[in-house]
Amino acid sequence: MKRVGFLLKVKQDQIPEYKKHHEAVWPEMQAALRRTGWHNYTLFLREDGLIFGYFEAAESFQASLDGMSREEINLKWQEFMGPYFEALNGARPDQTMIELEEYFHLD
């Protein structure tokens, strides 16, 4: 198991609507995340739109992303959520996640 932290940025004026969609994440999307090794997945949001995401990967961040890239529902979710994010430059949100280095952990 690998602990993964990542950053994304939501447009500040879109935060309420973005959060509303996460109150009812599609069941098919949730199942795909579980299937591809995303465990204990949690999102944190700062008031300026900065998102810190955390999950425990079965293998690695890249393996989890690769698994999701093969899930049809993920493409639909990424296209649906794309307009809420800043600085995508034509990419999907899941292609712009910035992985953070884990340098300390306390059990």
11 SS3 class: coil
Q: Give percent helix, percent strand, percent coil of the chain, each to the nearest 5.
A: 40, 25, 30
Exactly one of 21, 22, 39, 105 is catalytic; which is it? 22
22 SS3 class: helix
**105 annotated active-site:** no
Which residues are known to be catalytic?
22
